[in-house]
Amino acid sequence: MTGNWLQSARCALAASLLLAPMLCVAESGFGSNSATARVRITVVVLPVFRVLQVTPTAEGYDYRVWTNMKSIVLGGHEYRFARVGDNTLRVPTAPGDTWVVHGL
């Protein structure tokens, strides 16, 4: 029973494709010596930020990062880089009597 239903669905699909208008049609013309066309290519590059190494220092932490952006925003503070690629990001630690609560 399943085979008959599948066969009829295939026949209906084939018939509808034959009756559908052609999506792309090309035709030649007499006396035409030139042709023009426009092609637009759009490339979307997603932002990348990777932490490669973390080194604790006396003032905070040094993060060796790789990014394809000129600047990033962490915790509401913008960090700018001189170039795209491998950079060092210095983040100072909070004073000892500061409490940070996450998830509020």
Cα-based torsion angle of the residue sequence 60, 64, 66, 70 in order, rounded to the nearest 10 degrees: 50
pLDDT value of residue 85: 92
pLDDT beneath 50, residues of the chain:
1, 104
pLDDT value of residue 104: 45
pLDDT value of residue 58: 87
pLDDT value of residue 35: 67
pLDDT in tens, 58-84: 888 888 999 999 988 877 888 898 999
- The span from the CA of 92 to the CA of 78, in Å, is 14
Q: Which stretches of 1-104 are assigned E, i.e. beta strand?
A: 49-56, 60-67, 71-74, 77-80, 85-92
pLDDT value of residue 22: 56
